[in-house]
Chain A
Amino acid sequence: SAVISQKPSRDICQRGTSLTIQCQVDSQVTMMFWYRQQPGQSLTLIATANQGSEATYESGFVIDKFPISRPNLTFSTLTVSNMSPEDSSIYLCSVERDGFTEAFFGQGTRLTVV
C-alpha cells in the first residue's frame, strides 16, 4: 500500500481567496492524481500530475483555476484559486505504485467557501 498525507484536512475560506492543498506520499511515484468530490456526488478526476512536466487536466478543469505543482516524486500541491461557494467540495489526491494499478487515496481536504 501507500501512505498519503494530505494537508489541510479541512478549511473554511472566504470567496475570492485561494487555498493550496498539499499531498505527501511515503514513496516515489511517477504520477499523482487530484480529484474533486462535490457534496452528494462521486469523485471526478481534475488532473494528473507528473514530475517535471505540466499537469494534464480533464475536461471542465483549467490550469488557471486549479494550478498544480509537482516538484518531486513524493509531493504535489493543488491550488483552488479565486474560490466561490461552488468550489465547496472534498479534494483528494491519489497515487498508484509504479507498475501497479491499485489506487490509494489521501484522507481528503474538506473545503467550505463562504
Chain B
Amino acid sequence: KQEVTQIPAALSVPEGENLVLNCSFTDSAIYNLQWFRQDPGKGLTSLLLIQSSQREQTSGRLNASLDKSSGRSTLYIAASQPGDSATYLCAVLRDNYGQNFVFGPGTRLSVLP
C-alpha cells in the first residue's frame, strides 16, 4: 500500500529565504506526482505536475524534482514571501485510471515579514 510522508510537518522562515519541502513515497511505481497549495479552510491549487519520466518541473520561483527510484520529491521555493504561507501537499498518482491519488499530510509553511 502506497504511503506518502512529508517533512517537515511545519516550517517558519523569515521572508526572502530559500526553502525545501520534502515528500517521500513507499512505492516507486507511480504515474505522476503533483504538488498543491492549500490556504486555510480552502481548496487546493495545483502548483506543479511531474510525470514519472521527468526529473523536475519549474514554475516561477518554484522548482519540483522527482527521484522515483528513491521515492522522493522536493519542492524548492526561492526567495520566499509572506504570500507563500500555506500548507503544501504532495500527491502521487498510481495510474491513469481515475484519480486514485495518495496524498501526503502536508507541510504548513509560515513566511514571516
Chain A interface residues (CB < 8 Å from chain B): 1, 4, 6, 10, 31, 33, 41-45, 48, 56, 90, 92, 94, 96, 101-108, 110
Q: B75 in the interface, Cβ–Cβ < 8 Å?
A: no
Q: A101-B93, A103-B99 are in contact. Are A108 and B43 (CB under 8 A)?
A: yes
Q: A43-B101, A48-B99, A102-B34 are in contact. Are A90 and B46 (CB under 8 A)?
A: no
Q: Are B96 and A101 in contact (CB under 8 A)?
A: yes
Contact of A42 among B46, B49, B89, B96 (CB under 8 A): B89
Q: B70 in the interface, Cβ–Cβ < 8 Å?
A: no
Interface of A is mostly: strand
Q: Are B32 and A108 in contact (CB under 8 A)?
A: no
Q: B60 in the interface, Cβ–Cβ < 8 Å?
A: no
Q: Are B99 and A42 in contact (CB under 8 A)?
A: no
- Chain A proximity mask over B81-113: 1 for CB below 8 Å, otherwise 0: 000000001010100101111011110000000
List chain A residues, Cβ under 8 A from B61.
Answer: none
List chain A residues, Cβ under 8 A from B2.
Answer: none
List chain A residues, Cβ under 8 A from B42.
Answer: 107-108
Q: Are B43 and A92 in contact (CB under 8 A)?
A: yes
Closest residue of A by beta carbon distance from B36: A105
Q: B45 in the interface, Cβ–Cβ < 8 Å?
A: yes
Q: Are A45 and B36 in contact (CB under 8 A)?
A: no
Q: Are A105 and B44 in contact (CB under 8 A)?
A: yes
List chain A residues, Cβ under 8 A from B106.
Answer: 42
**Contacts A101-B49, A110-B41 supplied; 18 other A-B pairs, CB < 8 Å:** A6-B43, A31-B98, A33-B99, A43-B89, A44-B103, A45-B100, A48-B99, A90-B43, A94-B99, A96-B99, A101-B32, A101-B93, A102-B49, A103-B99, A105-B45, A107-B43, A108-B41, A108-B43
Q: B31 in the interface, Cβ–Cβ < 8 Å?
A: yes
Q: Are B44 and A42 in contact (CB under 8 A)?
A: no
Closest residue of A by beta carbon distance from B48: A102
Complex Cα distance, B98 from A90, in Å, reads 21
Q: Are A103 and B34 in contact (CB under 8 A)?
A: yes
Closest residue of A by beta carbon distance from B4: A42
Closest residue of A by beta carbon distance from B41: A110
List chain B residues, Cβ under 8 A from A56.
Answer: 98
